[in-house]
């Protein structure tokens, strides 16, 4: 393996056999980290700023009440959200899942913005979970402070806003907002058009608990008893903890009125190991009263506590299930789906070339010790798991920065496509016999060869993940969609399960070496099979080149073919002058040129006007847009949407074996179905958001909208003509198909 992390080494010599394995591992890690950085080698354009913005399911606006700012004074301001029916955004403690809005300011000198304040939230149940947030509309007040020495004249207040809007699925959003005001010493009595809006929501901010009132808490049963003293009988009360991980959010809160207040029973979070020093949060009472409380430990009314706990016990008879199923139950269900999806991913066409390599390695190593085979299996699994972790970490990092991305996002980068095609082409040259690959994926026997075999197993796992990402197999869509909408710990748990499922078949063989007796015996034929392995690798390279040409133009394809020529020359030097240091230096220089060209060419040669094959397809298919779906539905026509991409092999297979079949096309015409194709080959934020709203985070996805119905039918990811025909017949039988 040479210094840039590629699979190139000269024949073994007596000196090289003494090199420690750690050198190989360090170089392996360099290539692994380089692949991870490559996945983040592109960025998304930002939107032009104004005082308001429209995003999926939400309208957001920056509000500054006074028409002018005065030095030495504060101005009332706020961030306003108007939401579609059924959608919500989050409080400062989002509950079981979610994230509150955030503001990042760019302000002129002498102007500062105070922290955003949160009105009293609502409990928003979501299956077995509970969110805390707002529906319909909300304004988050804050203050703009102007220093006495602030410069007079025009001032632009610029803010980057990000939020998460959710219903059954969650969609991250972002906008850049700015509003212009003038800093002047002439104070104005005008309040501006937004004063009423600000005043309405500023009144909803929780107030400090009056000095005459009191809040104390004490441990009780499986949680806490919170006693509120307000001086009058309280029949309604809800407590929202401002700290996560203190209370069980979905658990009901029992309220027992007292003559001077109320007693609430709160169930603590299952992960809470020590009682808090104070219960901090917002207490909502009848009459739209809301107070900020910080209840201290203290004694509660013992008689009222016994009465409250007896009432709860009588409301939950013995033998009943009690609370709703926990989120842990849902997580385990998704983890099982992910494992099954990972196992089935081995059967997808994307992964076949890599499995061919592992099958060859297993045949060649079947006579090794059981312990060695097991180590190969563990190293292969480590390569898969670590690759998934890097990919998910990059995806989550980009999303947290405001990017709207989905599964397989790296295949939307021309830089990634060029480098991936070049790497596989170079690997194919070695397998075909042009030169010997130092870290051969099929090496076996001998101490050093075994060590190289471990590194080969690791990189086979890395390669399996890279070529698997354009495929979304059965059971994967639901698991991926759920995982990417959850906290990072849950996301990594689900993707780890997916990785273990992908590695499972090979690991099972290494754990049961007796099964390898069914494999053919090693022999001379192994060299022929090794060279034949280059065929599917080159086929995969051709497909990557086709995707690059269709999505980004023939000029970039010419650049890629030139890189292939340089790689062939580098391989010739390595094969013709094996073990010569100068030959390795020449090959290294050529490889560096290929890497630099892969980064430089997409910036200079990418064709913005070149349509992808999906856009060039038959005029039966029209480009997708949300407006087009609504228009066809308004006309009384069913709508079929194909979410696809050129780099998605599963999509291409489904189109040929199902969607393009004559009987399916005839059924589309018979039922007057409008055919729309959402091409995700290049990054398209609108398509990403549409997939997220459908509970999908990648392609393929197939959706059938019926007129008059807001919820579409989502078809399986593996299509057959019968699957599509059955869905169309269901529309016809319901009497919703268009006429004439």
pLDDT digit string, tens, across residues 500-522? 888 787 777 777 655 555 555 54
Joined tokens for residue 608: 């913005």
Q: Mapping DSSP to helix (H, G, I), strand (E, B) and coil, where does residue 219 land?
A: strand
Per-residue pLDDT at 78 = 92
Strand runs (DSSP E) across 322-475, as ranges?
none
Judge whether 423 and 345 are in contact, CB under 8 Å.
no
Distance of alpha carbon 56 from alpha carbon 42, whole angstroms:
24
At 141, the pLDDT band (50, 70, 90 cuts) reads: very high
| Lookup: tokens for 453 | 């075999």
Residue 467's Cα: distance from chain center in Å? Answer: 18
Cα torsion 444, 445, 447, 449: sign: negative
Q: For residue 56, which phi and psi values (nearest 5 degrees)?
A: -55, 120
Most confident residue range from 90-94, 409-413, 484-488: 90-94
pLDDT at 14 over 50: no
Quick one: average pLDDT of 43-67?
Answer: 76
How far apart are the C-alpha atoms of 284 and 263, rounded to whole Å?
13
Q: Are the beta carbons of 469 and 645 closer than 8 angstroms? A: no
Is 113's pLDDT higher than 80?
A: yes
Cα 225 to chain centroid distance, Å, stands at: 39
Q: What is the mean pLDDT of residues 527-552?
A: 73
The H-or-E segment that residue 207 falls in is strand 207-208
Residue 296, preceding peptide bond in cis (omega within 30° of 0): no
> Rounded to an integer, what distance in angstroms lies between the CA atom of residue 135 and that of residue 138?
7
Distance CA(407)–CA(341), nearest Å, equals 14
Residues 476 and 498: their CA atoms lie apart, in Å, by: 8
The answer to whether the pTM exceeds 0.75 is no
459: enclosing H helix or E strand: helix 447-468
- What is the rounded distance in angstroms from the CA atom of residue 119 to the CA atom of residue 122? 10
State the virtual CA torsion across 183, 186, 190, 196 in degrees, nearest 10.
Answer: 40
| Cα separation, 454 vs 456, whole angstroms | 5
Residue-wise pLDDT for 293-344, tens only, equals: 999 888 888 777 777 776 665 544 433 333 434 444 456 766 777 777 777 7
Instruction: Reduce the DSSP state of residue 514 to 3 states and report it.
Output: helix
CB 217 within 8 A of CB 227: yes
d(CA 33, CA 4) in angstroms, rounded, equals: 12
Q: Indicate if the pLDDT at residue 524 is higher than 70.
A: no
Sheet holding 74-83, edge to edge: 52-55, 58-64, 74-83, 137-146, 111-113
Q: Answer whether 273's CB lies under 8 Å from 231's CB.
A: no
pLDDT of residue 133: 93
Phi, psi values for residue 163, rounded to 5°: -155, 175
- From 260-264, 469-473, 662-666, the region with the lowest mean pLDDT: 469-473
Confidence band, pLDDT 50/70/90 cuts, at residue 83: very high
Question: For residue 626, which of 44, 52, 56 has the smallest C-alpha distance?
Answer: 56
State the burial class of residue 155 (Cβ atoms within 10 Å of its Cβ: 0-12, 13-18, 19+).
buried
The shares of helix, strand and coil residues in the chain, as percent rounded to the nearest 5, are: 45, 20, 35
Query: Two tokens at 552?
Result: 């980004």
Above 80 in pLDDT, residue 563?
Answer: yes
């Amino acid at each position: 393996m040479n210094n840039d992390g590629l699979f190139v080494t000269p024949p073994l010599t007596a000196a090289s056999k003494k090199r420690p394995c750690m050198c190989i591992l360090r170089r392996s890690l360099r290539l692994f980290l380089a692949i991870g950085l490559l996945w983040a080698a592109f960025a998304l354009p930002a939107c032009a700023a104004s005082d308001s913005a429209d995003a999926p399911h939400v309208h957001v606006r920056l509000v500054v009440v006074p028409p002018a700012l005065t030095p030495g004074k504060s101005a009332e301001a706020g961030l306003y959200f108007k939401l579609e029916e059924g959608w919500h955004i989050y409080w400062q403690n989002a509950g079981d899942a979610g994230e509150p809005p955030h503001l990042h300011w760019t302000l002129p000198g002498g102007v500062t913005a105070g922290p955003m304040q949160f009105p009293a939230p609502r409990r928003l149940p979501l299956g077995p979970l509970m969110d805390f947030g707002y529906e319909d509309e909300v304004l988050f007040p804050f203050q703009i402070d102007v220093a006495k020495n602030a410069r007079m004249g025009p001032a632009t207040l610029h803010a980057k806003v990000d939020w998460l809007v959710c219903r059954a699925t969650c969609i991250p959003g972002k906008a850049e907002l700015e509003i212009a005001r003038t800093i002047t010493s002439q104070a104005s009595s005008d309040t501006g058009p937004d004063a009423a809006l600000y005043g309405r929501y500023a009144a909803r901010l929780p107030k400090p608990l009056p000095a005459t009132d009191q809040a104390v808490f004490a441990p009780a049963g499986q949680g806490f008893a919170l006693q509120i003293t307000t001086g009058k009988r309280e029949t309604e009360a809800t407590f929202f903890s401002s700290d996560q991980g203190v209370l069980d959010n979905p658990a009901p809160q029992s309220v027992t009125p007292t003559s001077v207040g109320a007693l609430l029973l709160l169930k603590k979070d299952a992960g809470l190991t020590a009682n808090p020093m104070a219960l901090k949060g917002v207490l909502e009472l009848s009459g739209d009263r809301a107070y900020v409380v910080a209840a201290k430990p203290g004694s509660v009314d013992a008689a009222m506590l016994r009465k409250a706990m007896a009432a709860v016990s009588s409301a939950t008879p013995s033998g009943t299930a009690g609370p709703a199923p926990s989120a842990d139950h849902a997580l385990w269900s998704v983890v099982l789906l992910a494992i099954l999806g990972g196992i089935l991913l081995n059967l997808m066409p994307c992964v076949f070339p890599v499995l061919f390599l592992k099958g060859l390695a297993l045949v060649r190593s079947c006579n090794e010790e059981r312990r060695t085979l097991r180590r190969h299996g563990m190293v292969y699994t480590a390569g898969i798991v670590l690759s998934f972790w890097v990919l998910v970490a990059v995806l989550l990092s980009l999303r947290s920065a405001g990017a709207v991305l989905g599964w397989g996002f790296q295949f939307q980068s021309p830089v990634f496509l060029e480098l991936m095609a070049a790497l596989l082409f170079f690997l194919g040259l070695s397998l075909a016999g042009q030169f010997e690959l130092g870290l051969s994926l099929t090496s076996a026997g001998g101490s050093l060869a075994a060590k190289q075999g471990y590194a080969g197993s690791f990189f086979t796992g890395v390669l399996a993940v890279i070529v698997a990402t354009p495929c979304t197999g059965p059971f994967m869509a639901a698991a991926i969609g759920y995982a990417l909408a959850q906290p990072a710990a849950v996301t990594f748990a689900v993707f780890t399960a997916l990785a273990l499922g992908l590695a499972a078949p090979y690991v099972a063989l290494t754990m049961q070496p007796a099964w390898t007796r069914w494999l053919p015996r090693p022999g001379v034929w192994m060299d022929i099979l090794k060279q034949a392995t280059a065929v599917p690798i080159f086929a995969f390279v051709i497909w990557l080149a086709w995707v690059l040409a269709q999505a980004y133009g023939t000029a970039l394809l010419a650049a890629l073919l030139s890189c292939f020529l340089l790689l062939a020359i580098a391989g010739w030097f390595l094969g013709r002058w094996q073990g010569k240091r100068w030959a390795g230096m020449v090959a290294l220089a050529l490889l560096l040129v290929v890497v630099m060209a892969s980064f430089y060419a997409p910036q200079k040669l990418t064709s913005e006007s070149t349509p992808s094959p999906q856009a060039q397809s038959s005029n039966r298919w029209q480009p997708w847009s949300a407006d087009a779906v609504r228009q066809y539905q308004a006309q009384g026509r069913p709508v079929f949407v194909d979410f696809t991409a050129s780099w998605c092999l599963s999509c291409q297979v489904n189109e040929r074996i199902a969607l393009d079949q004559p009987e399916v096309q005839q059924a589309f015409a018979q039922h007057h179905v409008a055919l729309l194709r959402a091409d995700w080959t290049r990054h398209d934020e609108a398509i990403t958001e549409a997939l997220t709203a459908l509970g999908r985070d990648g392609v393929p996805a197939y959706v059938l909208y019926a007129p008059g119905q807001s919820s579409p039918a989502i078809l399986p990811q593996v299509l057959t003509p019968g699957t599509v025909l059955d869905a169309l017949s269901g529309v016809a039988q319901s009497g919703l198909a268009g006429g004439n």
